[in-house]
Amino acid sequence: MAPLSFAEPSVASGNDSLKIWFVPKPAGGTTINPLSVAVLEGEGSVAIDVTYSFTQDSGFNPTGSQNMISDPRLGKSQTQSRIGTEDPALTTKYVFANSEDDIARPAFEKGTEGWFVERRGIANDEAATADQLVNLYPVQAGAQIPDPTGTNAVDTITQSWAVTDTVQRFHPLVA
């Protein structure tokens, strides 16, 4: 029997290979596909590149949990379980400049609805193309809470987001 060989999977460095767009929900019932490359980049794009607005320490922090359903059965020696609902959550922490180059603060006013599109493992300066895998977070902005200021620190805002629909993970972009 031949010995088993284990290949080491390639991984992308987190440095300069995470891009986050915010796609505001259009007013007036207009529909938009936040997974469309045309929405994210290029002429006519409505997405806002907010990647560098977030801080490195949990600046874009999607979390959550998987609930389990207890399934006890008569005559079984152990309780079984089944997959239940998910509880996704999202908090952000971003810099603000109180100037015209402020990107995130004016875009994330309380009540704003839209989608975060998160692309990992591809260089930030590489254009979005169809079939790249992204995570899509449909959200509504909570209150913008200014963080305490400090010496040798930038001004930041922490914000919680309501996840308003199903999070789509590892979903391909479309042309």
Check residue 58 and give its pLDDT: 86
Residue 91: what residue type?
T
Helices (H), the chain: 37-40, 104-107
Cα end-to-end span (Å), the chain: 47
CA distance 138 to 168: 9
Q: How far is it, in rounded angstroms, from Cα 80 to Cα 8? A: 34
Q: Please check whether residue 142 is in contact with residue 108, taking contact to mean a CB–CB distance below 8 angstroms.
A: no
Express as a percent the part of the chain with pLDDT over 70. 94
Dihedral of alpha carbons 67, 65, 91, 145, sign: positive
pTM of the entire predicted model: 0.87
**pLDDT value of position 7:** 73
Asked whether residue 11 carries a pLDDT value surpassing 70, the answer given is no
How confident is the model at residue 8, as a pLDDT? 72
Q: Is residue 139 pLDDT above 80, yes or no? A: yes
Give the mean model confidence (pLDDT) for residues 79-98.
Answer: 94
Query: Residue 146 above 80 pLDDT?
Result: yes
CA-wise closest residue to 154 among 61, 60, 57, 55: 55
Q: Tokens standing for 119?
A: 């692309």
Is the predicted pLDDT of residue 9 greater than 90, yes or no? no
pLDDT at 63: 95
Tokens 């505001």 identify what position? 24
The H or E element containing residue 162 is: strand 156-163
Average pLDDT over residues 63-70: 95
